Every structure is written in C-alpha cells, then in structure tokens.
Amino acid sequence: MCFSLACSHHHPLNCIVPPYMLRVLEMRGDEAVATMARRLLKQNEKVREERAEMTHPGLPPHEISATPLGRAAALPDGSVKPNRQIHDGQYRAALPGLLVRSEGDPNTGIADADTAYDAAGEVFSLFAEEYGRDSLDGDGMPLIATVHHRRDYNNAFWDGRQMAYGTGDGRLFRTFLELSVVGHEMAHGVIQYSGGLIYENQSGALNESIADVFGSLTLQRALGQQAHEADWLVGRGILGPGINGQALRSMKAPGTAYSDNLLGQDPQPWHMDHFVTTPEDNGGVHINSGIPNHAFYLFASYLGGNAWEAPGRIWYHALQSLNNPMATFLDWADQTIQSANELTGNGSTEAVMLRRAWKLVGIAI
C-alpha cells in the first residue's frame, strides 16, 4: 500500500511499492528520480481520494466459509471458473481502459495483457482449489486488471475494484507483472472481503503480511516448489538492472532484500525486538510486516512440503475466523494457533511448530 491520508485507513490504495521507498528516492535521487517519486506520491494520493469516495464493502468473516484442511470440497470440479477481464490502459491514467481479453479468449499478442491474464488465473486457482473460495470476494467477482497504466509508472495497485500495473521506467523497476506481486495485490482483495484489517500499525502490517504470504504461495504453487526449494522473495526480478537487490522483500531473511545507494537498506525487521515505531507508512505497515512474514516462513519450513497446503490453509482459515479488524500481532498469532488446532487437532505437530515459529520472532502464546 501507499502514502496515507486519514481516510486511507478504511479506504486504502494497495500499492506494491511502499511510500518509504518513494521518500528515499525523493531525497537521494537525481532531479529526474526525485521528480518521479514526488509525482508518484501525488498520483497515489489522488487515486486514494477517489477510492475514499467509493464504497466497497467486504463480506463479514462469518459469511465466508472456512475450508477444512483437505482440498476445496466446497467447490465441485468444474463448478467455479474465473471471469478475467484484462484491459490495456494505453499509458493513460483512466481506468480500466480498453478491454483486450475476456475469459476464454485466445492470446492477444500483447505480452503484458497475456501475462496478467495467466497470473490472475494462478491466483484464482490457489484460492478456489486449495481454500474453497470463489474469486476475491468469495462470490465470483470478475477479475479486472489494467496493464500499461500511465507511462513509465513505477507501481502496481489494487484499488478495491481492480488491479492496475505500470510498466516501470526501466531504471528503478523493470516490471510489475511478477507472479508474487500479482498474488500479493489480488490477495488484498481477499483480505478486503474477509472482514478487512485496518491499514495502520500492527493490523496494517498484518494486512501487508497476509498479502505477502498468499503472493508467495501463488508463486510457489505455480512453480511446484516445496518450502525448502522456494526463495521466499516478494517481487524477485522487478528491480531495475542497476539496483543492488533481489526483490522488494524477503520472508526468509527480512531486511536483506536490497541494499542500494539509491534505494537505501531494506528496513524490515524479523523479530519484535526490532519493531519499528514510526508515523510514516501508516505506522510502518510495509516495514513491520517482516515479523509475521518470518513467522510464516519458519512455520512452513518446519513442516516442509508444500507451503500452500497445511500452512496456507491455516492462514486462510485464521483470516476468515479473525473477526477483528484492529488485530495485533499477538491476536493474529493466537488466531492462527486456534485455526491449527481446529484443522489438525489439539496438540498436533502443526500447532506445536506454529507456536515455536511465533516464539522465535518474539511473540509467545
């Protein structure tokens, strides 16, 4: 998500490039980079104001069924299919732009449009086949996306109704159509329609972390990677060719995704001892998300196998059961352990390993 207005806590604009990174670019960059950063912050603010004027109610958690640990029995084979609608923004600001590919259409020949179509299908498949969810709202909503949003636009976002992807400027960012990024942003839609998490302080960091988790799981599932095979990076390969870094964030080693003269040092902590208290970034929502991110990584690594199975189902079940939009890290840890007990049995290996993972990041249940 992005730079904050007071209203944005309830009507957030979910951007993949965090505002603190843009602030660093504004201070450290040359005139062209600083101008780009200021313009992007202003553009985000304008879109957020428009977002605040709209109402996008999420479904209360109790109205979305939580799927048992097994595969999605709630959705019979073939009964649920995505409804993807991909638009070409033609480098303009207006959304959604020109419809270029609808569900079932052949490839367009527009590389970004076809990539967005395929990526949306992977996200839909994860939630439908593994967690029994019919699209982002749980009720079959269309998956609307716009590629080529604005010219040289260094961001991607979920605005409460649809996805929009910039192409990057080729210097700082080279693409925003990487699968963990797409999965992250679309997962914000799932969070929105699962009761939501207020986008500030710890509840906001949980919002970001849960989106990172499902973004990473989308990529791992598409690649067929077990937990020990995955790199646990969010946004691998999207940074520009001259940037010293691998990705935007690392769930395996928060704080190590990049270290660059222009972008600065990845500020994410992995433990509560290093929790960052700041008025920026809605109370550090993109920064402190490293702590619950690392807990999920540890949990999935302890269990081994496919992280989108037991770990992902426990996280999804916890999201549907939370019913607390201002949840703290401790609240969330407790809810995930309750979900592990409900899905796998009291005292199960999953519950024991999850409790250990939370303790190792400084949250004892």
Please report the DSSP string for 214-234 in residue order: HHHHHHHHHHT--TTT---EE
In this prediction, residue 134 carries a pLDDT of: 97
Q: Which two structure tokens, joined as six digits, stand for 190?
A: 């799932």
**What is the structure's pLDDT at 161?**
93
Q: How far apart are CA 330 and CA 201, in angstroms?
A: 13
Query: What sign does the CA torsion over 246, 248, 253, 258 have?
Result: positive
Q: How far apart are CA 324 and CA 260, in angstroms?
A: 38
Tokens of 173: 């960012």
Pairing of strands 233-234, 249-250: antiparallel
For residue 23, the model assigns a pLDDT of 86
Only one residue has tokens 């967690």, namely 131
DSSP output for 245-289: BS-SEESSSTT-SBEETTTEE----SSGGGPPP-SSHHHHTTTTT
Query: How many H-runs (helices) and E-runs (strands) does the chain carry?
Result: 11, 10
The CA distance from 134 to 74, in Å, is: 10
- Structural domains of the chain in order of their starting residue, each with its CATH number: 6-360 (1.10.390.10)
Catalytic residue chosen out of the listed positions 185, 200, 208, 350 = 185
pLDDT (0 to 100) of residue 64: 37
According to DSSP, the β-strands at 143-147 and 84-88 are parallel
Name the helix (H) or strand (E) containing 100. Answer: strand 98-102
Residue type, 321: S
Q: Please name which of 295, 322, 296 lies closest in space to residue 310, comparing C-alpha atoms.
A: 296
Q: What confidence score (pLDDT) does residue 79 get?
A: 74
Q: Give burial (CB, 10 Å; 0-12/13-18/19+) of 27.
A: exposed
Q: Render each residue's pLDDT in the chain as its tens digit; 365 residues.
A: 343 322 345 456 788 888 888 888 888 888 988 888 898 888 766 665 554 444 444 444 333 333 344 333 344 455 799 999 999 999 999 999 999 999 999 999 999 999 999 999 999 999 999 999 999 999 999 999 999 999 999 999 999 999 999 999 999 999 999 999 999 999 999 999 998 999 999 999 999 999 999 999 999 999 999 999 999 999 999 999 999 999 999 999 999 999 999 999 999 999 999 999 999 889 999 999 999 999 999 999 999 999 999 999 999 999 999 999 999 999 999 999 999 999 999 999 999 999 999 999 999 98
Please provide the distance, in angstroms rounded to a whole number, between the alpha carbons at the two ends of the chain.
Answer: 29
Q: Whole-prediction pTM value?
A: 0.90
286 is catalytic: yes
Whether 185 is a known active-site residue: answer yes
Q: Which residue in 145, 161, 79 sits closest to 108, CA to CA?
A: 145
Q: Which of 11, 87, 188, 286 is catalytic?
A: 286
What would you measure as the largest C-alpha separation in the chain, in angstroms? 59
Of the candidates 246, 116, 138, 154, the residue with the CA atom closest to the CA atom of residue 192: 138
- Gap between the Cα atoms of 146 and 53, Å rounded: 21
Measure the CA–CA gap between 42 and 48, rounded to whole angstroms.
Answer: 10
Distance CA 132, CA 202 (A): 28
